[in-house]
Amino acid sequence: MINERVKKIIDDLEMFDEDIDKYEYIVDIGKNAPDLEENLKKDEFLVHGCTSKVWLIPQLIDGKLNFKADSNSVIVKGLVTILVSIFQNLYIDDILNFNNTELEKLNLTEIISPTRQNGVYHMLNKIRHYAEVYKEGV
Amino acid sequence: MIKDDFPYFSNSKITYLDNGATTQKPQRVIDSVVKYYSEYCANTHRGSYKDGNLATLNYEDTRDFVRSFINANSSREIIFTKGVTEGINMVASSFVKENFKTVIISSLEHHSNIVPWHNLGYKKGNGLEVVRFNNNLEFDLSHFEELLKKNPGAFVSVTHVSNVFGIVHPIKKITELTHKYGGKVLIDGAQSLSRINIDVKEIDADFFVFSSHKSYGPTGVGVLYIKESNIKSFKLYQTGGAVIDRVTYDDSTFLDSPLCFEAGTQNIAGVIGFKSALEYIKSISYEVIQKHEKYLLELLHKGLGEIDDVLLYTHSNLVGGNLSFNIKDITPIDLGLLLDKQGVAVRAGHHCAMPIMEELGIDGTVRVSLGIYNDKEDIENFLAKLKRAVSILKD
């Protein structure tokens, strides 16, 4: 299921020839994504390693992991919203068994490079970390 | 075209405006590095054979060139380092620690002139004082004098040109006042050497530090100038090979400055390349560099002034080379990223100067940082791409 989701995003992003158009699309995703309630913007949900502030909040519903996310950067919010759409409402093992290198196919430099300030790499680690924590707890 | 001197611009279509982070290298710098590695690669100050002697000669020739370039008295005063960060750390550990109760810095310091003091236990209000800034981020000389009066014999460590805002500090006045109250001064020239003629005698600094790579030279090389009268009290920072006169199992005796402060094998190629970079600056001349930079800064200010909601933090006549701005309701990181996607390299974020960002109540800025090769087309291109980025990001 994750692969299908990734494939759909690849198809969407491949519509754009120019990088800037692709990012305009990501900005639109960020603008249209819901804002996180202020009381949920707690330090414990912050993704460390990102220059911008990114909150990623997990919730286990019927054995499946769900996420809410937000950022003070609209581009990063777009990126984290894309990531959340990939991992949303999945069983913990599906998340843990997924090979994150598959995401390189999205061809977003923010995902390929671990050093980028937007820290998608760190968001992926956080999602994985949540999955591991819940697995231990199950 | 100055860009023709820099191979980077034949190979890259990027509009490069991040010179405060590092500059591109002219062909002659690359050539001298390649020449060392390919024609006479040998260690310095050790083997007495043809290539070793030539390497030592060229390494020491750079030292003498640097001495003359910044008008120091003697080559003993010129220590090669990895860069400004190492220079400041050396001064902090080998000269300031245990000898100075108070360190005074400006509000516009890079982390490299804040964290080393924290690391030695100088914390704000407890050994570390920060000079306030006036409107337009100018250094507040009267507050500075107040601090000096309160803390006679303090160590003052300030940047010459702010890496974020380009503010040029009145370093001559700063050294005068510091000495009047019995203190010593370090000036961080990381952002100034590429655009302002440095005369350490005229400035009368006790220490002056700079990095090669921000002034068109190789990375991993810097200079720490130590005024002759301070050398005696300057403790060894690192020890090992190349710093000793004689070693027995019982004890070691050391060489004099500068070699006693350059333990281990240095970045020989980088040092030799740095001379070529300084020669290059000299061939262009500071007068030309400053005139051109002023022209570009005016274009930039004018162009930014035509964009809605631009927030500038100072006046163009106060700055040298670096200009920071924000656009209301847009995070600087988003602007930086969308500029990057359009082939424009600027720095966006806190620029390793988090305390001043906090003081101004901002997360960061977008910084345009000029180099010798930037031209009108670069500024026009930057402004056009910025407008596109803003139109995407605005609601």
Q: Does B7 score more than 70 pLDDT?
A: yes
Q: Does A110 score more than 70 pLDDT?
A: no
Angstroms from B299 CA to nearest CA on chain A: 25
Q: From B350, which residue of chain A is nearest by alpha-carbon distance?
A: A51
Q: For B287-305, what is the mean pLDDT? A: 95
Mark out chain A residues that contact chain B at CB-CB < 8 A: 19-20, 22-24, 27, 31, 51-52, 72-76, 117-118
Residue-level pLDDT at A86? 94
Residue-level pLDDT at B328? 95
B contacts of A75 (beta carbons < 8 Å): 333-334, 337-338
CB-nearest to A73 from B333, B350, B395 is: B333
Q: What's the pLDDT band for A116 if we cut at 50, 70, 90?
A: low
Q: From B352, which residue of chain A is nearest by alpha-carbon distance?
A: A51
Q: Between β-strands A90-91 and A64-71, what pairing exists: parallel, antiparallel or unpaired?
A: antiparallel
Q: What's the pLDDT band for B316 if we cut at 50, 70, 90?
A: confident
Q: For B197-206, what is the mean pLDDT? A: 98
Q: Are B370 and B321 in contact (CB under 8 A)?
A: yes
A contacts of B337 (beta carbons < 8 Å): 23, 75, 118
Residue-level pLDDT at A115? 55
Q: Which of B91, B371, B384 is nearest to B230 (CA)?
A: B91
Q: Looking at domain B28-283, which CATH architecture does it have?
A: 3-Layer(aba) Sandwich (3.40)
Q: Is B292 on the interface with A (CB under 8 A)?
A: no
Q: Does A138 score more than 70 pLDDT?
A: no
Q: What's the pLDDT band for A27 if we cut at 50, 70, 90?
A: very high
Q: Which residue has the higher pLDDT, B356 or B318?
A: B356
Cβ–Cβ gap A74/B331 under 8 Å: yes
pLDDT digits (tens, 9 = 90+) for A39-77: 999 999 998 877 788 999 999 999 999 999 999 899 989
Angle at B271 between CA B270 and CA B274, to 5 degrees: 85
Q: In chain B, what percentage of residues exceed pLDDT 90?
A: 87
pLDDT digits (tens, 9 = 90+) for B75-121: 999 999 999 999 999 999 999 998 999 999 999 999 999 999 999 99
Catalytic sites of B, residue numbers = 352
CB atoms within 10 A of CB B252: 14
Q: Is B311 on the interface with A (CB under 8 A)?
A: no
Residue-level pLDDT at A133? 92
Structural domains of chain A, with CATH? 2-137 (3.90.1010.10)
Cβ–Cβ gap A52/B333 under 8 Å: yes
Cβ–Cβ gap A24/B363 under 8 Å: no
Residue B49: strand, helix, or coil: coil
Q: What are the backbone angles phi and psi of residue B376, rounded to the nearest 5°?
A: -55, -40
Query: Hey, which residues does B188 pair with through a beta bridge?
Result: B159, B209
Q: How far is CA B228 from CA B96, B200, B261, in A?
A: 16, 12, 14
Q: From A71, which residue of chain B is nearest by alpha-carbon distance?
A: B331
A contacts of B333 (beta carbons < 8 Å): 51-52, 73, 75-76, 117-118
Q: What is the DSSP string of B139-198?
A: B-HHHHHHHHHHSTT-EEEEESB-TTT-BBP-HHHHHHHHHHTT-EEEEE-TTTTTTS--
Which of A112-121, B223-232, B369-378 has the lowest average pLDDT? A112-121
Residue A33: strand, helix, or coil: coil
Ordered alpha helix ranges (H), chain B: 8-11, 27-39, 50-69, 84-91, 115-119, 141-150, 171-180, 200-203, 228-231, 268-284, 286-305, 332-340, 354-360, 376-393
In chain B, where the domains are located: 28-283, 285-393
Cβ–Cβ gap A23/B337 under 8 Å: yes
Residue-level pLDDT at B30? 98
Residue-level pLDDT at B330? 95
Q: For B323-345, what is the mean pLDDT? A: 95
Which of A132-136, B20-24, B38-42, B302-306 has the lowest average pLDDT? A132-136
Q: What are the backbone angles phi and psi of residue A108, rounded to the nearest 5°?
A: -105, 120
B contacts of A117 (beta carbons < 8 Å): 333, 349
Residue-level pLDDT at B189? 98
Q: For B125-145, what is the mean pLDDT? A: 95
When the pLDDT of each residue in chain A is averaged and rounded to a whole number, the result is 87
Residue matched to tokens 């000299």: B282
Which of A90-104, B150-164, B220-234 has the lowest average pLDDT? A90-104
A contacts of B388 (beta carbons < 8 Å): 20
Helix (H) or strand (E) run with residue A9 in it: helix A2-13
Cα(first)–Cα(last) distance of chain B, in Å?
Answer: 41
Q: Are A137 and A98 in contact (CB under 8 A)?
A: no
Q: Does B307 score more than 90 pLDDT?
A: yes
Q: Is B216 left (phi over 0), alpha (psi -120 to 50) or beta?
A: left
Query: Hey, which residues does B222 pair with through a beta bridge?
Result: B81, B211
Helix (H) or strand (E) run with residue B365 in it: strand B365-369
Q: Does A112 score more than 60 pLDDT?
A: no
Q: Which residue has the higher pLDDT, B133 or B241?
A: B133
Tokens of A6: 């990734």
Helix (H) or strand (E) run with residue B211 in it: strand B207-211
Q: How far is CA B49 from CA B45, B52, B171, in A?
A: 11, 5, 45
Residue matched to tokens 């062909």: B27
Q: Does B67 score more than 80 pLDDT?
A: yes
Q: For B361-389, what is the mean pLDDT? A: 96
Q: Does B124 score more than 60 pLDDT?
A: yes
When the pLDDT of each residue in chain B is averaged and rounded to a whole number, the result is 95
Distance (Å, whole) CA A95 – CA A86 = 10
Q: ipTM of this model?
A: 0.86
Q: For B204-231, what is the mean pLDDT? A: 98
Cβ contacts of A18 within 8 Å, gap of 6 or more: none
Residue-level pLDDT at A64? 94
Count of H-run helices and E-run strands, chain A = 6, 3
Which of B337, B352, B395 is the best substitution to test chain A (most A C-beta atoms within 10 A)? B337
Q: Does A114 score more than 80 pLDDT?
A: no
Angstroms from B205 CA to nearest CA on chain A: 36
Distance (Å, whole) CA B390 – CA B395 = 10
Q: For B244-252, what is the mean pLDDT? A: 88
Q: What's the pLDDT band for A113 if we cut at 50, 70, 90?
A: low
pLDDT digits (tens, 9 = 90+) for A118-136: 577 888 889 999 999 998 8
Q: Which CATH class is domain B285-393?
A: alpha beta
pTM equals: 0.92
